[in-house]
Amino acid sequence: MRILTAGESHGECLSAIIEGFPKGVRIEQDFIDQELKRRMSGVGRGRRMAIESDKAEIVSGLRNKITLGSPITILVRNKDVKIFSQNKDELPILSIPRPAHADLSGALKYNESDIRNILERASARETASRVCAGAVCKQFLLNFNIDIASFTVGVGSVISDVKPKTVSEIKTKVKSSQLNSIDPKKEKLMISEIKKIEEEKDSLGGIIEIWIEGMPVGIGSFMDYKARLDAKLAYYLMGIPAVKSVEVGLGFNYGKARGSVSHDEIYYSKTKGFYRESNNSGGIEGGISTGEPIVLRIAMKPIATLRRPLNSVNLITKKAEKAIVERSDTCAIAACAVIAENMAAIAVMESFLDKFGSDTLSEIKTAYRAYAKNLDNL
Amino acid sequence: MRILTAGESHGECLSAIIEGFPKGVRIEQDFIDQELKRRMSGVGRGRRMAIESDKAEIVSGLRNKITLGSPITILVRNKDVKIFSQNKDELPILSIPRPAHADLSGALKYNESDIRNILERASARETASRVCAGAVCKQFLLNFNIDIASFTVGVGSVISDVKPKTVSEIKTKVKSSQLNSIDPKKEKLMISEIKKIEEEKDSLGGIIEIWIEGMPVGIGSFMDYKARLDAKLAYYLMGIPAVKSVEVGLGFNYGKARGSVSHDEIYYSKTKGFYRESNNSGGIEGGISTGEPIVLRIAMKPIATLRRPLNSVNLITKKAEKAIVERSDTCAIAACAVIAENMAAIAVMESFLDKFGSDTLSEIKTAYRAYAKNLDNL
Amino acid sequence: MRILTAGESHGECLSAIIEGFPKGVRIEQDFIDQELKRRMSGVGRGRRMAIESDKAEIVSGLRNKITLGSPITILVRNKDVKIFSQNKDELPILSIPRPAHADLSGALKYNESDIRNILERASARETASRVCAGAVCKQFLLNFNIDIASFTVGVGSVISDVKPKTVSEIKTKVKSSQLNSIDPKKEKLMISEIKKIEEEKDSLGGIIEIWIEGMPVGIGSFMDYKARLDAKLAYYLMGIPAVKSVEVGLGFNYGKARGSVSHDEIYYSKTKGFYRESNNSGGIEGGISTGEPIVLRIAMKPIATLRRPLNSVNLITKKAEKAIVERSDTCAIAACAVIAENMAAIAVMESFLDKFGSDTLSEIKTAYRAYAKNLDNL
Amino acid sequence: MRILTAGESHGECLSAIIEGFPKGVRIEQDFIDQELKRRMSGVGRGRRMAIESDKAEIVSGLRNKITLGSPITILVRNKDVKIFSQNKDELPILSIPRPAHADLSGALKYNESDIRNILERASARETASRVCAGAVCKQFLLNFNIDIASFTVGVGSVISDVKPKTVSEIKTKVKSSQLNSIDPKKEKLMISEIKKIEEEKDSLGGIIEIWIEGMPVGIGSFMDYKARLDAKLAYYLMGIPAVKSVEVGLGFNYGKARGSVSHDEIYYSKTKGFYRESNNSGGIEGGISTGEPIVLRIAMKPIATLRRPLNSVNLITKKAEKAIVERSDTCAIAACAVIAENMAAIAVMESFLDKFGSDTLSEIKTAYRAYAKNLDNL
């Protein structure tokens, strides 16, 4: 499976092509739209989200909702199409880069003095097409009861220590949250913090936990360093704009622990087969899945655009000035969580197909069942 | 540039092929051997390291120490070649998996009851070939004054808060350390902790910081999520056995911070060009290098093999038993740091070549200088 | 540069994403449309071509016609959108495969009894998106005076032995041809042959020669077998539906020749530098370009769909029946030539970027000029 | 499956790493050595072949002859190790390029005046490592009764029109041939022609046909142009040094034929299932296998090095001189055939794994059988 995404923040549309997707998978456009809607929601979002109401258009790869095995093309039209339909000269040149965004490094990389030519693609708007691709993968994975959810662990100084037990518990709880939280008490504090920060024209990041349930044991590989499941998940999660930290299971705290208390001992029962009583590994040992839930944690830095702008320098005059203020969010933690779930879905599906083939859902199910049966017989 | 590594822990040799490496680069075998030696050192290492004295043999790709542009093959002979030169049946079957290692998940993945067939490749011994490949990349990068170093931030409960200023400072300080530390006081405590844990037949992990200095601004790309420099670094670092967390710059703590105090404001002076007074971004914004040092932090989990073994289950009898005890280390934090430096070197070189071409060092230098000159003229 | 294409023959649209395309290249949509029009033309085409009037819509990657360095998305709407907007059950199931098409093997591969689910993607209609991608690459290459043309060498029993000298000669001559021919006399015979075959409800293939002019010496590589320029060209040309033979230079006849008369001897003059007086190599020696025109020849098999259908078997009843008759062409040699030019453009551009980098046109020009200057100094 | 090869003609050794090869496959080193020996044989070979007696050393990836699923490393030591163990300055600089070899274009590409730095890798000696990799793939394929053979169709002016029926027929007949021929009468003429040419210090190429038997229907894909089986075969075959033409089935002659007589009509019988009475398609339609034998034809140009050397130019003095004379063959058609078989094996195995997964032979067999059973039930 190979995926390319495309599209500028104010261009005509965002797009994605997914090549090598199995034949015979039912794909609901509503499911994708629901993910796109989740991506646009959450306390702390700015005006752009009020303008857009993203809809996925699937223009290839399906017949009557069933995948054909051919490449799937998904488009998301931008409503706020500004610059590409107008004459460039009528648009003001943006020349004062925002710290923490790609503005300055991008302008230098491309020897460009109009930052618009950088930020249009560097904008997190492009993640809408990743969510489309991920939402297609999620639907594939559900055929194998592999389900993914996420929740907000922290925003600014507020950290929740509520731990879920299952993906379905997470899904139920976040449904009634404005911030993808499973901890109603802390959520209130988080929202207060966001409102306060919003008034101060400042911005916030946060911490997200992602759960992947139902992964069979043995997905990923230690045979080549590029095939490790944890490596691939880190690749795709760290590739989300603003994500600066990725952890698996106990993560950072593993560095402080000793083996005897942090490793997940192995047990066996006739009904469960091999199992663990803890999941510090986050469901991955030796680069492959253990069969326990995969648990990942990412940290998102505060939004780069502040309405009370930071110190910067005009690229043309070289004079100190305040950074440009593009319309933006105060905190996009709930959106980031949706993107993370969907990037995780892509990573996990790629490794899953590596093991079970990729021509048709029916053949993959045959391979999966034969493998599962072998596990039982072991 | 494409790299494959190979080799089992007790097979005849470890190997690596590096394809697409530029012509005209001087490669010293001594440099590689030095890295291999660093990888074998550090307090807390076990007996295997006393047996091996790894030497890199470069058997293709060089003529008189200069790369030809052809694929580079590097071999590292194992001295401790056990199983592959003997008859299988004479070797005892290993059937009690160690928690935290690939043993159980690997055995299930491959439907294998002799864990030796899993652990031979899953063993961290394979990182010797990665270090060989990385040490070749490091030598390329030094042509552009891109230099990489690392230091131990923490081991178990001991955390150092000494912050270095430069790579050369790190290099000088760790030279006189037994644990790749730049904080002699804390190093003593770390060593004590390791000794104590060793006596208790337990194991430890730790925290490492990696610095990459001299990277020009603009390496990596936000155009495709797979091309982001932070994503690629996370990919290769999380792909190191036992690494469970990767952070860039402020990392996890970004999730708790607000934008106004955590973003690196932009300044300009005639002598320095654009610069920052802080480096919370860890030298990467929008997926591309800022020109500031790249700062990464990883956490390593404790060694999986304990001499006071953990609870496990015999794969064949399904009876509860204590895990097998392969000869192992108590703490391999110094080794992990060397591996991390070298994996980072591979990631960084790949992105560097993406920008400047890859046929010959001389052409890359031309492209690099033209780019640098443009930056100056901006 | 990575390209994905998508789209079914009667789906909503065809699409392509080109990722890794350099910034700063002027792309004219008219140029693409012109190639699409050429692809639809030529004596021997069927009714579909009368229905469609393909237009490329570029919906990402450009601002005011200049590439941004971001992925380029190109859409081509199908006018003849049948099945995907209707209910499947209203459409008759196709169950009698056409020999020479993907129908039977595809149905077996995907365990599918409705051949429509196979032929929608296997149809040569998908080559419209390849032409879009190639036409973008052609425009890049023209910045380096790399120009590509093709002409029909043979159709059925008629073979032309007119040899061109330059790409511009080819371009001029084929302009006034209905069959992409540079030999007006033989063209008449070819057209007669096509008309006759059309009356007989039969089909024809043909032979095409492709010229690529302006390639500097040294593109491609013998360092890895996947990097050879001839190999890559063969890959992309043999990947065109109906193409069954690819030759470089003297091609097949090299097998019958002796070295002393077939190899291109080397000469030198101050004005020309190194040069050859013959070009039997077709501009490629040792997997890399020689600087002479690259000359390729492909053979296309006759169209698979015959209006006087061939023997086949009903997939469901297993009874012998005549193959289905999808609307089709009699001979598509002129279309195939356009597709071949554009696939060659993609191959050549990929190898070109391998040598000169890919961030911006301006940087590529710098690298190219420095290389050219070195060649002159040699 | 990913393969890298390495090694210079007179370097220490040739090497290959095969990553992603399934676990559980029995690999005989003798089989590889046999292929290496076949590669060195045939009338028309030069003195180098008398010096070398290639042996494959498998130094990773196997335990007791069974693959572990880990990367397989294969080394072939050069006996004739000249330059890399000596001081460069003692070796004469080669500065007069041979037409038809990579010498001139390579020297220009790499701005190199000592052609030795080019020809060491560009030499066909490197194909020994490809043969090693291919011979491993061949052994995998035999588990599915996929067998590959080849025979010499023509050498110089002598063309055989004997057509085989099966791979086993080819194998039997070529065994008693000195030139990989299945036509003893024509073989004599070919040998005479080679001897004559040898006396004249000239060189010859030839034409080879490759058969792949036992491929199930449905391998390869028309979903993406890079996944087509014929495209991939052309890629790997045209990537063999000296190969200038690749044809599938009727190949070039398809261009002259009409559909009604050249397409392979479809029949069905209870015992055979769907079948054809002709195989003009060469076993591939729509980019995927039909289940009939895959038939490929390649043309090899004459050896580039002539003992009566061609006109050339001294790279340093720019004076006209006769090309250098590296020890070489007169005709290497039999060697080329072995290389072609093995490159075809790699291509075919890659596409085969795409359909059936790649973790273990046992799982691949399960997937294969389930697919075969479905075909029977259709």
Burial A304-332 (b: 16+ CB within 10 A, else e): bbbeebbebbebeeeeebebbebebbbbb
Q: Which residue has the tokens 């009468």?
A: D185
Q: What is the pLDDT of residues B135-163, one digit of tens each?
A: 999 999 999 999 999 999 999 999 999 99
Whether the predicted interface score ipTM is above 0.95: yes
Question: Residue B46 and residue D141: Cα distance in Å, rounded?
Answer: 43
HSE, side-chain direction, 13 A CA sphere, residue D280 = 23
Number of other residues whose CB lies within 10 A of the CB of residue B276:
20
- In angstroms, the separation between the Cα of residue B153 and the nearest Cα of chain D is 34
What is the pLDDT averaged over residues C111-125? 93
Show which of residues 87-106 on chain B sit within 8 Å of chain A, judged by CB atoms: 97, 99-106
- In angstroms, the separation between the Cα of residue C301 and the nearest Cα of chain A is 24
Residues in chain C with CB shorter than 8 Å from the CB of A110 are 23, 69, 359-360
Question: Residue C357 and residue B354: Cα distance in Å, rounded?
Answer: 6
pLDDT tier, D49 (very low <50, low <70, confident <90, very high otherwise): low
How far, CA to CA in Å, does B56 sit from each of A255, B75, D8, D78?
A: 31, 6, 18, 19
Q: Which residue has the tokens 């490793």?
A: A263
CA angle D331, D335, D337 (to 5 degrees): 110
Sign of the four-CA dihedral B166, B167, B171, B174: positive
Question: Residue A351 and residue A340: Cα distance in Å, rounded?
Answer: 17
The minimal CB distance from B245 to the residues A103, A247, A286 is found for A247
Q: What is the pLDDT of residues C178-189, one digit of tens each?
A: 999 999 999 999
CB C303 within 8 A of CB C330: yes
Chains in contact with A, where contact requires at least 3 CB pairs less than 8 Å apart: B, C, D
Nearest CA in chain D to A2: D224
Question: Residue D162 and residue D173: Cα distance in Å, rounded?
Answer: 11
CB–CB contact B366 C363 (8 Å): no
Question: Residue A41 and residue A333: Cα distance in Å, rounded?
Answer: 10
Q: Could you give phi then psi for residue B275, rounded to 5 degrees?
A: -155, 170
**Which of D323, D345, D352, D356 lies closest to D103, judged by CA?**
D323
Tally of domains within chain D: 1
Query: Which residues sit opposite A235 in a β-bridge?
Result: none
Residues 6+ apart with CB under 8 A from D14: B60, D5, D6, D7, D75, D76, D78, D125, D126, D128, D129, D132
Question: Residue D147 and residue D31: Cα distance in Å, rounded?
Answer: 14
Show which of residues 22-41 on chain A sit within 8 Å of chain B, judged by CB atoms: none
Chains in contact with B, where contact requires at least 3 CB pairs less than 8 Å apart: A, C, D
CB–CB contact A2 C4 (8 Å): yes
Interface contact B200, partner C, CB < 8 A? no
CA-based Rg of chain C, rounded to a whole angstrom?
22
CB–CB contact C247 D299 (8 Å): yes
CB B18 within 8 A of CB B140: no
DSSP structural state of residue B26 = B
Q: What is the pLDDT of residues A73-98, one digit of tens each?
A: 999 999 877 666 545 556 788 999 99
The minimal CB distance from A239 to the residues B225, B289, B378 is found for B225
The minimal CB distance from C223 to the residues B71, B354, B366 is found for B71
Number of residues assigned to chain C: 378
Interface contact A67, partner D, CB < 8 A? no
Question: Residue D164 and residue B12: Cα distance in Å, rounded?
Answer: 43
- pLDDT confidence of residue D86: 47
Structural domain for A69, as ranges: 2-376
**Which of B343, B39, A20, D206 lies closest to C6, judged by CA?**
A20
Question: What is the residue-averaged pLDDT of chain B?
Answer: 94
Residues in chain A with CB shorter than 8 Å from the CB of C110 are 23, 69, 359-360
Q: Which residue has the tokens 């491609």?
A: C220
Question: Residue A114 and residue A98: Cα distance in Å, rounded?
Answer: 13
pLDDT at C44 over 60: yes
Interface contact B80, partner C, CB < 8 A? no
How far, CA to CA in Å, does A271 sit from each of A268, A274, C208?
A: 9, 9, 66
pLDDT at C84 over 90: no
Percent of chain A with pLDDT over 90: 87
Q: Which two tokens stand for residue D98?
A: 């041979």
Element of type H or E holding D158: strand D158-159
Q: Could you give phi then psi for residue C92, rounded to 5 degrees?
A: -65, 145
Q: What is the pLDDT of residues B273-330, one digit of tens each?
A: 999 999 999 999 999 999 999 999 999 999 998 989 999 999 999 999 999 887 778 9
Mutation to test the A interface, candidates C25, C68, C123, most A Cβ within 10 Å: C68
pLDDT at B267 over 50: yes
Query: Which residues sit opposite B268 in a β-bridge?
Result: B274
pLDDT tier, C24 (very low <50, low <70, confident <90, very high otherwise): very high
pLDDT tier, C325 (very low <50, low <70, confident <90, very high otherwise): confident
pLDDT at A256 over 70: yes
Percent of chain D with pLDDT over 70: 96
Residues in chain D with CB shorter than 8 Å from the CB of B73 are 6-7, 13, 15
Question: Residue C362 and residue A344: Cα distance in Å, rounded?
Answer: 37
CB–CB contact A256 B223 (8 Å): no
CB–CB contact D5 B63 (8 Å): no
CB–CB contact B223 C356 (8 Å): no
pLDDT tier, A31 (very low <50, low <70, confident <90, very high otherwise): very high
- pLDDT confidence of residue A376: 81
- pLDDT confidence of residue D377: 74
Number of other residues whose CB lies within 10 A of the CB of residue B231:
27
Q: Which two tokens stand for residue D360?
A: 């273990």
Interface contact B4, partner D, CB < 8 A? yes
Q: Which residue has the tokens 């000669």?
A: C169
CB–CB contact D299 C253 (8 Å): yes
- In angstroms, the separation between the Cα of residue B137 and the nearest Cα of chain C is 18
CB C93 within 8 A of CB C112: no
Question: Residue D235 and residue D240: Cα distance in Å, rounded?
Answer: 9
How far, CA to CA in Å, does A230 sit from each of A294, B205, B244, C173, C247?
A: 9, 18, 8, 59, 45
Mutation to test the B interface, candidates A131, A269, A301, most B Cβ within 10 Å: A301
Q: Which two tokens stand for residue B79?
A: 């001295």
Number of other residues whose CB lies within 10 A of the CB of residue D92:
9
Which amino acid would we find at residue D74?
I
Q: What is the pLDDT of residues B86-114, one digit of tens each?
A: 455 567 889 999 999 999 999 999 999 89
HSE, side-chain direction, 13 A CA sphere, residue A187 = 18
Element of type H or E holding D63: strand D62-63
Which one has a higher pLDDT value, B90 or D159?
A: D159
Which amino acid would we find at residue B145?
N
CB–CB contact D202 C258 (8 Å): yes
Residues in chain B with CB shorter than 8 Å from the CB of C373 are none
Residues in chain A with CB shorter than 8 Å from the CB of B253 are 299
Which amino acid would we find at residue C288?
I
CB D61 within 8 A of CB D23: no
Q: Can you state the angle between helices D229-238 and D333-356, rounded to 10 degrees?
A: 150
Interface contact C79, partner A, CB < 8 A? no
CB D146 within 8 A of CB D368: no
Element of type H or E holding B175: helix B167-175
- In angstroms, the separation between the Cα of residue D134 and the nearest Cα of chain A is 20
CB–CB contact A70 D371 (8 Å): no
Question: Residue C213 and residue C224: Cα distance in Å, rounded?
Answer: 25
Nearest CA in chain C to B23: C223
3-state helix, strand, coil in chain A (%, to 5): 40, 20, 40
Q: Could you give phi then psi for residue C130, rounded to 5 degrees?
A: -65, -40
**Which of B185, B127, B124, B126 lies closest to B152, judged by CA?**
B185
* CB neighbour class for C176 (10 Å; exposed up to 12, middle 13-18, buried from 19): exposed
Mutation to test the C interface, candidates D266, D294, D339, most C Cβ within 10 Å: D266
Q: What is the pLDDT of residues B7-61, one digit of tens each?
A: 999 999 999 999 999 999 999 999 999 999 999 888 877 766 666 689 999 999 9
Question: What is the residue-averaged pLDDT of chain C?
Answer: 93
CB–CB contact C367 B366 (8 Å): yes
Question: Residue A303 and residue B262: Cα distance in Å, rounded?
Answer: 10
CB–CB contact D313 C274 (8 Å): yes
- pLDDT confidence of residue D45: 79
Question: Residue A205 and residue B205: Cα distance in Å, rounded?
Answer: 29
Where is average pLDDT lowest: A35-39, A241-245, A319-323, D372-376?
D372-376
Residues in chain A with CB shorter than 8 Å from the CB of D356 are 357
Question: Residue D286 and residue C124: Cα distance in Å, rounded?
Answer: 10
Q: What is the dihedral of CA B211, B217, B222, B226, to 10 degrees?
A: -40
* pTM of the predicted structure, to 2 decimals: 0.97
Chains in contact with D, where contact requires at least 3 CB pairs less than 8 Å apart: A, B, C
Question: What is the residue-averaged pLDDT of chain D?
Answer: 94
Which amino acid would we find at residue C211?
W
The per-residue DSSP string of C147-215 comes to: EEEEEEEEETTEE-----S-HHHHHHHHHT-SSS-S-HHHHHHHHHHHHHHHHTT--B-EEEEEEEE-P
pLDDT tier, C92 (very low <50, low <70, confident <90, very high otherwise): confident
pLDDT tier, C175 (very low <50, low <70, confident <90, very high otherwise): very high
- pLDDT confidence of residue A236: 98
Q: Which two tokens stand for residue B35?
A: 């890295």
Element of type H or E holding D244: strand D243-248
CB D72 within 8 A of CB D82: no
pLDDT at D37 over 80: yes
CA angle D194, D198, D204 (to 5 degrees): 55
Element of type H or E holding A357: none
Residues 6+ apart with CB under 8 A from D339: D39, D127, D130, D131, D134, D240
**CATH at B176:** 3.60.150.10
Interface contact D65, partner B, CB < 8 A? no
CB–CB contact D117 B87 (8 Å): no
Q: What is the pLDDT of residues D79-138, one digit of tens each?
A: 877 666 545 556 788 999 999 999 999 999 999 989 999 999 999 999 999 999 999 999
DSSP structural state of residue B308 = S
The minimal CB distance from D7 to the residues B60, B69, B121 is found for B60
Nearest CA in chain C to D159: C256
Mutation to test the C interface, candidates A63, A77, A117, A125, most C Cβ within 10 Å: A63
Interface contact A226, partner B, CB < 8 A? yes
Nearest CA in chain D to A222: D70
